[in-house]
């Protein structure tokens, strides 16, 4: 059995967006959705996960494979790419993942070869979906964003939801205890509109003057529009509310237009990520 350090980083592409990651990373495809690039981890938006300090394990027996993984760490989740039965047999010999943090990741890429990293960057949250409270499944994106940021609104804070209808993100913000300014030309779902601490304003998110709004702790948006338009909206509001926390969805139609997002990527304290619950879209996050 041998364990060889790869001296680089493995990036796991979001499913269905391998081409976007290849274009952004310019790395080498190892297997399925796994790509390698030399050097320390870089902020790659289309990476669903990032494997830190990965290794290659060459083994003779399944028991040897599990022992090698346990010598590197105790909490593992497989990323099946091939040899699915052998992958399941190896994982069966490992402790159940605690999921208390980002677990280690491993993939059986050949019959006797494993790629693994005891540390990964972005855990995929496992939510129990609420099918009664929120008016749409879009609410899962905001909960996941808070999970990635490691923070969320608290009681007494004020948040604004730009382009809020039917109210999934407004519902999440209200659940945290925050006061919510909910803005859209279309109405909220009736049961969301009746909740306390929601100030609904029936107007355009793009027409609203950010100077007309008082102090904000959080600014969020899941509005449907072109990337350039939402980027300009963010920059306009950021100038007036530089200390707010941000969660903004960037939606793409047709080709993936990354160029309009360049100004957002340069903003200190921000990151552009593809969440587990994103589709053909990215999420821009910023914390104060």
Higher-pLDDT residue of 14 and 69 is 69
**Res 124 pLDDT > 80:** no
**Res 269 pLDDT > 70:** yes
pLDDT averaged over the chain?
94
Instruction: Specify the long-range contacts of residues 179-183, CB closer than 8 Å, at least 24 apart.
Output: 181/213, 181/216, 183/208
Local structure of 136: helix, strand or coil: coil
For the residues of 148-163, what is the DSSP string, one character each? HHT----TT-EEEEET
Give the helix ranges, DSSP H, for the chain: 18-25, 62-72, 84-92, 139-149, 168-175, 190-193, 227-240, 262-265
Q: At what angle do helices 168-175 and 139-149 cross, to 10 degrees?
A: 50
pLDDT of residue 100: 53
Residue 127: pLDDT band (50, 70, 90) is confident
pLDDT of residue 282: 97
pLDDT of residue 239: 97
Residue 189: pLDDT band (50, 70, 90) is very high
pLDDT digits (tens, 9 = 90+) for 71-108: 999 899 999 999 999 999 999 999 886 655 678 999 99
Strand order, beta sheet including 55-58: 2-5, 55-58, 113-117, 104-110, 76-78
Q: At what angle do helices 84-92 and 62-72 cross, to 10 degrees?
A: 60
Residue 11: pLDDT band (50, 70, 90) is very high
Percent of the chain scoring above 70 in pLDDT:
97
End-to-end C-alpha distance for the chain, whole angstroms:
47
**Res 203 pLDDT > 70:** yes
Residue 54: pLDDT band (50, 70, 90) is very high
Superfamily of structural domain 139-286: Vaccinia Virus protein VP39 (3.40.50.150)
Question: What is the C-alpha separation between 205 and 197, in angstroms, rounded?
Answer: 19
- How is the chain split into domains, by residue range? 2-120, 139-286
pLDDT of residue 131: 85
């Amino acid at each position: 059995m041998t364990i060889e350090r790869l001296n680089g980083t493995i990036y796991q592409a979001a499913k269905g967006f391998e081409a976007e990651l290849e274009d952004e990373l310019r790395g080498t495809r190892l297997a399925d959705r796994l790509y390698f690039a030399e050097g320390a981890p870089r902020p790659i938006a289309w990476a669903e996960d990032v494997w830190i300090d990965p290794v290659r394990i060459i083994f003779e027996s399944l028991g040897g494979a599990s022992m090698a993984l346990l010598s590197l760490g105790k909490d593992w989740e497989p990323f099946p790419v091939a040899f699915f039965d052998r992958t399941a047999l190896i994982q069966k010999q490992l402790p159940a993942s605690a999921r208390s943090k980002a677990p280690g990741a491993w993939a059986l890429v050949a019959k006797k070869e494993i790629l693994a990293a005891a540390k990964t960057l972005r855990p995929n949250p496992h939510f129990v979906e609420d099918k009664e409270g929120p008016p749409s499944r879009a609410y899962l994106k905001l909960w996941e964003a808070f999970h990635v940021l490691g923070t969320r609104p608290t009681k007494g804070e004020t948040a604004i939801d730009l382009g809020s209808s039917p109210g999934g993100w407004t519902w999440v913000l209200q659940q945290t205890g925050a006061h919510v300014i909910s803005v859209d030309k279309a109405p909220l779902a009736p049961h969301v509109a009746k909740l306390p601490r929601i100030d609904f304003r029936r107007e355009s998110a793009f027409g609203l003057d950010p100077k007309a709004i008082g102090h904000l702790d959080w600014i969020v948006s899941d509005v449907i529009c072109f990337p350039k338009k939402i980027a300009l909206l963010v920059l306009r509001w950021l100038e007036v509310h530089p200390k707010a926390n941000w969660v903004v969805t960037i939606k793409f139609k047709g080709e993936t237009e990354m160029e309009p997002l360049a100004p957002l990527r340069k903003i200190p304290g921000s990151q552009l990520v593809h969440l587990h619950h994103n589709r053909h879209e990215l999420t821009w996050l910023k914390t104060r």
